[in-house]
Amino acid sequence: MTYAHSEAGPGPPDAHLPGTTSGGAPPPAAAWQDRGMAEQRWDTEAERAPAELEQVWSAVVATARRTVTDGLVVGTSGNVSARVADLVLVTPSGVPYDRLTPDDLTCVDLTGRQVRGTLVPTSELPMHLAVYRTTDARAIVHTHAVHATAVSTLVPELPPIHYMTGALGGPVRVAPYATYGTDELAENMLRALTDRSGCLLQNHGTITYGATLDQAYDRTAQLEWMCRLWLTAAGVPGLTPSLLTQAQLTQAAERLRGYGQRK
């Protein structure tokens, strides 16, 4: 089964590698040759650029720890991943993030086959792989953030209460419930993610992606904040929050695309 998904997603198509400052997505052989590594030979993708994988792994772990310290994740209830070429570095299942070391690098290919590490990858791997196979995502953050999860039990779509809705591609949908770790949940999530860079998972949590780990993380934080905002406003007895129109959201989204420091 395939799903229509906009080629021009919310993230820039030629995004930088997550957690690095090198320019552009990695074209396979040529990039390594440029770095003076042409004489080396690698038998598998996982052996191609160990230094780069280790660098991205430390950024994955740092992002996972940030989800805990910022209150978006309790214990090991979320997971984080980043893509390097056709490999996916992903947090392992059931290991507290503060215990993860460089030796725990966990890496799979786009089919889910483990190519580095001995720890079992996150049980939510099907969701991560589905996003990488169908979008230009370079990084993914999944959490059980409390306000976002609360909203996922109340409505099929987060009402557009704030213009930051535009930063996620439009009103955030709720993917119908399915058991965690299943292909069914991954399929429901992909439908909810159509033309969006984030969605809610009913009675479960959040998932967002981006061109970098920082962008994926920021989208999760914004999503949780908007859910908290809506719950706060909608919870005032006798009053109903005003919502933004499609035209207002479109205008805000256009401005958000140019937001930031101009160089």
Query: Among all residues, which ones are annotated catalytic?
Result: 124
Would you tell me the crossing angle of helices 50-69 and 213-234 to the nearest 10 degrees?
20
- What SS3 state is found at 224? helix
R_g over Cα of the chain: 19
Distance CA 102, CA 179 (A): 31
How, if at all, do strands 79-84 and 205-210 pair? Answer: unpaired
| CA-closest candidate to residue 167, choices 217, 223, 211, 247 | 223
Are the CB atoms for 226 and 158 separated by under 8 Å?
yes
Residues 6+ positions from 238 with CB-CB distance below 8 Å: none
Is the CB of residue 216 less than 8 Å from the CB of residue 154? no
**Beta strand 139-143 pairing with 198-201:** unpaired
